[in-house]
């Protein structure tokens, strides 16, 4: 599990509220719909003081990675999203359908002009903490991040 700053596990915090939703469709998953839902849930949970622009970027990156690198992007695939508000952080989780050939990793930048490889590095910089759960050969992965509540 990768972390930027550790502030203890979310399990140690008292949960205030949570919401989950699945995204799938015959035409595929719309990353914008995932982003809009997460933003709406953060606001509904009363955690709208977090930097929603940064949350949008991280949700876009993680959901797009799920669609690009896993079975979530194939016909009939989907992603799940979860938002949990704690007293001091908001935790966002994006789950894929599995099938990735590798686990999420922050790539080192060897080519400044490369088209890919910056997304999880951006998440690592913007998030209070981030990581992933699950995985293994063909198994679903949940990538999560936490942002502080001012």
pLDDT in tens, 44-102: 988 768 999 999 999 999 999 999 989 999 988 999 999 999 989 999 999 999 988 88
**Tokens encoding 38:** 């997460």
Give the Cβ contact number of residue 51 at 10 Å.
12
DSSP state of 115: S
Q: Which residue has the tokens 């990538």?
A: 143
**Tokens encoding 136:** 């293994």
Provide the pLDDT for residue 67. 92
144 forms bridges with which residues in the sheet?
Answer: 93, 131
Taking the model in full, what pTM does it have? 0.83
Q: Which residue has the tokens 């679903």?
A: 140
């Amino acid at each position: 599990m990768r972390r930027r700053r550790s502030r203890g596990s979310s399990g140690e915090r008292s949960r205030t509220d949570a919401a989950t939703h699945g995204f799938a469709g015959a035409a595929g998953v719309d990353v914008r719909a995932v982003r809009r839902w997460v933003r709406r849930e953060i606001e509904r949970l009363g955690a709208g003081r977090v930097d929603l622009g940064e949350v949008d970027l991280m949700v876009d990156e993680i959901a797009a990675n799920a669609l690009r690198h896993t079975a979530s992007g194939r016909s009939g695939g989907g992603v799940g999203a979860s938002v949990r508000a704690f007293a001091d952080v908001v935790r966002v989780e994006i789950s894929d359908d599995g099938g990735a050939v590798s686990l999420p990793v922050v790539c080192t930048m060897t080519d400044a002009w490369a088209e890919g490889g910056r997304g999880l590095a951006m998440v690592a910089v913007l998030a209070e903490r981030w990581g992933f759960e699950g995985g293994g050969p063909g198994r679903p992965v949940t990538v999560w991040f936490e942002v502080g509540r001012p």
